[in-house]
Amino acid sequence: MKLTRLFAIAAIGLCTSCTNNADTESATTDTAAAQPEADLSQLTPEARMVQTAFPNMYMFLEGQDPSFDPANFQETEGGYGEPLPPRFFAPEELEQFKPYLIYNTDSTKAIDLVSYNYIIDKKDGQQVLTGAGPDTEVGIINLQNNMRTRIFFAGPGTVMREGKWIDSSTVMLGGAETLSNTAIKPFLLRINLNEKSVQKFAYADSVKGKL
C-alpha cells in the first residue's frame, strides 16, 4: 500500500478483519526450532507491539513463516487526513457487534474492526463471523452518542487483524496485504485521533503464507 494510496484513503476517511483468532500451525522444522527468540529490548515499540500486545497476529505470522521477525518492521509512510463526517450507528444495529469491539479504558469509545468487514451468522447455535468483503474498513465508535468515524479503508487484498488503544487518543492497528498466492506483507498503523495523523510501519520483506 503506497503512501499515495494510504492517504488518498486517509483523506476519504482518516485513515480488517477483526481480532478473531486464526488457526495457526506450529513450526516443526529443526531450523525453526533452532531460531532464538527476538530480543525485545532491541525492537521499536511498534515491533514489540506485535509480539506482546498482538499475540494472535504474531502467532499467525510465525505459524505461516518461521522466519518472521518483528524486528523487520520499519517506519515508512506518514501523513494527515480529514475523516469523513461520522455516521449514526443505530443502537439496535450496533448491539450485535458489541462483543467484538475493542474498548478504551472507560468504555466510552471502541475500535470497530467488525461491522463493515463481517456478517454475523449462526452455526450450530453459535455466532460466527463471515467475511463480507471485498474491502476493509476500520472505525471508531463514540459509545456516548453512537457516532462512528471511519479511520481506515483499503480495497481487496488487505485484512486488518488487530487493534489496540495506546492511550485515550491513539490506536494501533495490525494487518497485512496479499502480494501473491503465497506471500503477504504485514504492516502496523499508529493513528492519532486528535491530530488526525497516520504513521505506517511496514514489514521490510514479505512473509510466506495466505490471509
Look up the domain containing 194 and give its range.
3-20+42-208
Say which residue the cell 486528535 belongs to: 194
The pLDDT score that the predictor gives to residue 35 is 41
Number of domains the chain is built from: 1
For residue 125, being part of any structural domain is answered with yes
At residue 25 the predicted structure's pLDDT band, cuts being 50, 70 and 90, is very low
Predicted confidence at residue 40, as pLDDT, reads 53
Closest to 115 in 3D by CA, of 126, 105, 101? 101
175 to 108, 125, 181, 187, 195: CA distances (angstroms): 25, 30, 17, 6, 22
pLDDT at 119 over 70: yes
Q: Does residue 34 lie within any of the structural domains?
A: no
Under the banding of pLDDT at 50, 70 and 90, the label for residue 7 is very low
Mean pLDDT of the region 196-210: 92
Burial of 97 per CB tally in 10 Å (0-12, 13-18, 19+): buried
The reply to whether 30 falls in a domain is no
User: Does 183 map to a domain?
Assistant: yes
204: in domain = yes
CB under 8 Å to 41, separation ≥6 — which residues?
none
Let me know if residue 154 belongs to a domain: yes
| Residue 155 maps to a domain | yes
Q: Is residue 31 part of a domain?
A: no
Residues 33-85: tens digit of each pLDDT:
344 454 556 677 777 778 888 988 999 999 999 999 988 998 887 888 888 89
